[in-house]
């Protein structure tokens, strides 16, 4: 009986911690959702604040800001992967001793505030290449830096999980060059970590406010803040919606990992031309 | 004009920082020859193989394939098939796709890739496993597919980097015999790296024994075993008994008695070690002359029985006795002992 009690105590303590954390996390979300999606007068679920906000009747156009954020997220993801996958492969194969240094560098964006990054970029490029600051797509390099901690860790985990050296050497001995080896052997064997890096990068870009606000580009988060001033209920409603989309992305990562764990991804080389 | 060697390494030197992995390394494999490099860990055998494959650039020296210098040719253009120690099948591809990979890199047509990959899988006895992924196959099957994949590109040289070391004993024996059969059938020049002397002896045309980045001896397995060029080779290839003594006239005087053995190169009175193969320690019932020894152990090993013996002076030796002869001896009993000079070597003490 005494043994049962000691076994049950930690479980009870753990459950209490989980419940408390859950309440701390979900109550504000619930409050925001209730405020955004429920009418004060009718006490019924309503999408009116959301419609009002996204109709573009007030403030900057909703669609333009969403489209810009989506373009930035997709471009940043592609740029991050094109830059990071070969670099990480090179790091793992050729200079593994530098991995701790690279890891340290990868966390710098955590400690360098976005405002400092913008100030630095502004100072550096304003006279030489002002178009980088004027064009919204000029934010892509800054976003690549901001997403670096996530991209690095996800790709590093993926590369550490495979016998990269042997696979690369086998591929090369069979006639594949480095690019072909990365494309045909390395990438297919780290699909999950690439997807993870992609979704995390997208989540970072879709939620990034400081850089775009300081450079006066109206991305989705900037629009959200501006629109909330005009529509107090629409802002929280849209925030909840964007959080749900982010969770959906993370859920997709989890689902992909599970599917990958149960069956390998087929790549029928023989059938291709 | 004679046919150029299938593979040749001339004066290859390779260092890793202060460590010299290969020093003045020369090796020649004739076309279609199967040569094994044997040696303890860190002797440089894998480095030699990796220099041939192109994974490690040599500091100096040249690598020639069929007379052509390939020292500066990149790995993917060397036309060499390689089977690795660790399982190296591409996890995202089926066995058939793995075998076809090299052909795809060579831009062969789909039909040709499919046909050749199928033939190769049939050659290694895995045609029924063509749709399986690496994680659905045993270690032995994976190495068979890896062999088929290496052979599918019709390489000029086949490189085997301890491909059997991760397999269990039974699979290891059957696969090594299969590798040898296929190599003979295809007549492909093969360099095999292993630390397993039995494996090397069983499959090779010639065996090279390496130590400290140098080739100590190379020759047919029987020659290396019977006529080792140094005490290191004698000790590394097979088992030897070591008996210390002093060089005398026509032999070595040991604590166990006088052992007649050629000692021409050594000065009389100099310390020496007598190295004796277990099968060269001949034992008979007492009364037939020779040294008297007591039996300390009997270990049945199938075709032979290993008999542990103690000679006077506390010297211990082992003898391999073939067939049922050992049954007449028992632990604690006394035997008469002689040495067969064909299995006795002497080195300076």
Q: How confident is the model at residue A5 (pLDDT cuts 50, 70, 90)?
A: low
- Say if the Cβ atoms of A175 and B76 lie within 8 Å: yes
The three-class DSSP label of residue B285 is strand
Chain A contact probe: residue of B76, B113, B166 with most A CBs at under 10 A: B76
Residues of chain A in Cβ contact (below 8 Å) with chain B = 162-163, 166-167, 169-177, 180, 184-185, 188-189, 264-273
Chain centroid to CA A3: how far?
45
**Closest CB from A173, A176, A270 relative to B114:** A270
Each residue's pLDDT tens digit, A73-130:
999 999 999 999 999 999 999 999 999 999 999 999 888 888 998 999 888 888 888 8
Supply the DSSP string of B12-39, one letter for each residue. EEEEETTEEEEEEEEEEE-TT-EEEEE-
Q: Quickly list H helices, B42-132.
A: 45-53, 95-105, 110-123
Q: What pLDDT is attached to residue B295?
A: 93
Distance from CA of A109 to the nearest CA of B (A): 34
Q: What pLDDT is attached to residue A197?
A: 92
The pTM score is: 0.81
Using an 8 Å CB-CB cutoff, list chain A residues near B57: none
In 3D space, the residue among B277, B280, B262, B221 whose CA is nearest the CA of residue B347 turns out to be: B262
Helix (H) or strand (E) holding B275: strand B271-276
What DSSP designation does B94 have? B
Q: Rounded mean pLDDT of chain A?
A: 84
| Residue of chain A minimizing CA distance to B114 | A270
Does residue A4 carry a pLDDT above 60? no
DSSP bridge pairs for A203: none
- Say if the Cβ atoms of A169 and B106 lie within 8 Å: no
Using an 8 Å CB-CB cutoff, list chain A residues near B94: 266, 268
- Say if the Cβ atoms of A270 and B88 lie within 8 Å: no
Distance from CA of B220 to the nearest CA of A (A): 29
**A-B Cβ pairs (cutoff 8 Å, strict):** 92
- Say if the Cβ atoms of B100 and A272 lie within 8 Å: no
- Token pair, residue A108, equals 């710098």
Using an 8 Å CB-CB cutoff, list chain B residues near A161: none
- Say if the Cβ atoms of B94 and A170 lie within 8 Å: no
Q: What pLDDT is attached to residue A78?
A: 96
Please count the other Cβ atoms lying within 10 Å of the Cβ belonging to residue A161. 12
Using an 8 Å CB-CB cutoff, list chain B residues near A173: 53, 75-76, 78, 80-82, 150, 159
Using an 8 Å CB-CB cutoff, list chain A residues near B113: 269-270
Using an 8 Å CB-CB cutoff, list chain B residues near A162: 91
**Closest CB from B86, B97, B153 relative to A175:** B153
Q: What pLDDT is attached to residue A203?
A: 87
User: For residues B37, B40, B41 and B46, what is the CA-based torsion angle, rounded to 10 degrees?
Assistant: -10
Each residue's pLDDT tens digit, A38-70:
877 667 888 887 787 777 545 557 888 889 999
Each residue's pLDDT tens digit, B208-222:
999 999 999 999 999
- Say if the Cβ atoms of B105 and A189 lie within 8 Å: no
Does residue A265 carry a pLDDT above 50? no
- 3-state percent breakdown (helix, strand, coil) of chain A, nearest 5: 80, 0, 20
**Closest CB from A177, A264, A271 relative to B76:** A177
Which portions of chain B are predicted below pLDDT 50? none
Distance from CA of B87 to the nearest CA of A (A): 8
- Say if the Cβ atoms of A264 and B150 lie within 8 Å: no
> Torsions phi, psi of B94, nearest 5?
-75, 170
- Token pair, residue B19, equals 């460590």
Using an 8 Å CB-CB cutoff, list chain B residues near A265: 92
Each residue's pLDDT tens digit, A157-192:
999 999 999 999 999 999 999 999 999 999 999 988
Distance from CA of A90 to the nearest CA of B (A): 15
Beta strands in B162-213 (DSSP E): 189-194, 206-211
Give the dihedral sign, CA B207/B212/B215/B218: negative
* Dist. CA B282–CA B67, nearest whole Å: 49
- Say if the Cβ atoms of A175 and B55 lie within 8 Å: no
Each residue's pLDDT tens digit, B50-78:
999 999 999 999 999 999 999 999 999 99
Place of tokens 């803040």: A225
Length of chain A measured in residues: 273
- Say if the Cβ atoms of A175 and B100 lie within 8 Å: no
Q: At what angle do helices A62-93 and A164-173 cross, to 10 degrees?
A: 80
**Closest CB from A163, A175, A267 relative to B93:** A267
Q: What pLDDT is attached to residue A270?
A: 36
**Closest CB from A174, A188, A271 relative to B92:** A188
Using an 8 Å CB-CB cutoff, list chain B residues near A269: 93, 97, 100-101, 104, 113
Give the dihedral sign, CA B37/B38/B44/B45: positive
Q: What pLDDT is attached to residue A6?
A: 56
Chain B contact probe: residue of A175, A260, A265, A272 with most B CBs at under 10 A: A175
Share of chain A above pLDDT 90, in %: 45
| Residue of chain B minimizing CA distance to A163 | B88
Each residue's pLDDT tens digit, A235-263:
888 888 888 887 887 787 677 766 655 44
Q: What pLDDT is attached to residue A261?
A: 53
Distance from CA of A178 to the nearest CA of B (A): 9
């Amino acid at each position: 009986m005494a043994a049962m009690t000691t076994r049950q105590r930690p479980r009870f303590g753990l459950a209490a911690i989980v419940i408390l954390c859950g309440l701390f996390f979900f109550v504000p979300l619930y409050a925001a959702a209730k405020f955004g999606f429920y009418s004060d007068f009718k006490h019924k679920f309503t999408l009116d604040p959301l419609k009002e906000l996204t109709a573009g009747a007030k403030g900057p156009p909703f669609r333009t800001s969403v489209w810009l954020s989506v373009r930035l997220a997709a471009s940043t993801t592609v740029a991050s992967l094109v830059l990071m996958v070969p670099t990480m492969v090179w790091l793992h194969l050729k200079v593994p001793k530098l991995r701790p240094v690279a890891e340290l560098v990868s966390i710098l964006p955590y400690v360098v505030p976005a405002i400092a990054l913008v100030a630095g970029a502004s100072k550096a490029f304003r006279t030489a290449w002002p178009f980088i600051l004027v064009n919204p797509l000029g934010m892509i390099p800054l976003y690549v830096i901001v997403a670096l901690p996530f991209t690095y860790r996800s790709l590093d985990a993926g590369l550490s999980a495979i016998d990269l050296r042997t696979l690369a050497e086998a591929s090369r001995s069979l006639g594949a060059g480095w690019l072909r080896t990365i494309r045909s052997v390395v990438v297919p064997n780290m699909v999950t970590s690439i997807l993870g890096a992609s979704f995390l990068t997208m989540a970072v870009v879709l939620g990034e406010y400081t850089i775009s606000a300081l450079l006066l580009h109206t991305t989705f988060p900037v629009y959200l803040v501006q629109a909330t001033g005009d529509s107090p209920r629409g802002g929280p409603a849209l925030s909840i919606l964007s959080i749900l989309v982010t969770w959906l992305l993370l859920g997709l990562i989890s689902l992909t990992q599970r599917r990958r764990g149960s069956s390998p991804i087929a790549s029928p080389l023989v059938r291709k031309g | 004009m004679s046919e150029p060697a299938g593979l040749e390494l001339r004066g290859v030197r390779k260092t890793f920082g202060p460590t010299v992995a290969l020093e003045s390394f020369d090796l020649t494999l004739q076309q279609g020859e199967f040569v094994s490099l044997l040696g303890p860990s860190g002797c440089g055998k894998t480095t030699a193989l990796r220099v041939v494959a192109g994974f490690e650039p040599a500091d100096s020296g040249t690598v020639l394939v069929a007379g052509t210098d390939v020292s500066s040719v990149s790995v993917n253009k060397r036309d060499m098939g390689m089977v690795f120690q660790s399982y190296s099948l591409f996890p995202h591809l089926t066995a058939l796709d793995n075998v076809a990979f090299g052909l795809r890199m060579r831009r062969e047509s789909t039909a040709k890739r499919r046909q050749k990959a199928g033939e190769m899988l049939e050659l290694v006895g895995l045609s029924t496993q063509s749709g399986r992924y690496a994680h659905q196959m045993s270690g032995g099957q994976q190495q068979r597919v890896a062999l088929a994949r290496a052979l599918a590109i019709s390489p000029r040289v086949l490189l085997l980097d301890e491909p059997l070391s991760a397999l269990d004993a039974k699979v290891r024996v059957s696969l090594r015999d299969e590798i040898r059969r296929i190599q003979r059938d295809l007549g492909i020049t093969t360099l095999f790296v292993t630390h397993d002397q039995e494996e090397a002896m069983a499959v090779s045309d010639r065996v090279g024994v390496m130590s400290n980045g140098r080739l100590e001896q190379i020759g047919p397995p029987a020659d290396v075993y019977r006529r080792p060029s140094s005490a290191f080779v004698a000790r590394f290839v097979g088992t030897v008994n070591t008996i210390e003594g002093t060089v005398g006239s026509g032999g070595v005087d040991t604590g166990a008695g006088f052992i007649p053995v050629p000692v021409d190169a050594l000065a009389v009175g100099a310390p020496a070690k007598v190295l004796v193969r277990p099968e060269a320690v001949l034992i008979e019932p007492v009364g037939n002359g020779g040294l008297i020894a007591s039996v300390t152990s009997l270990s049945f090993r199938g075709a032979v029985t290993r008999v542990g013996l103690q000679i006077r002076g506390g010297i211990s030796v082992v003898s391999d006795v073939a067939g049922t002869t050992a049954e007449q001896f028992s632990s604690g009993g006394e035997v008469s002992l002689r040495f067969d000079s064909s299995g006795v070597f002497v080195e300076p003490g």
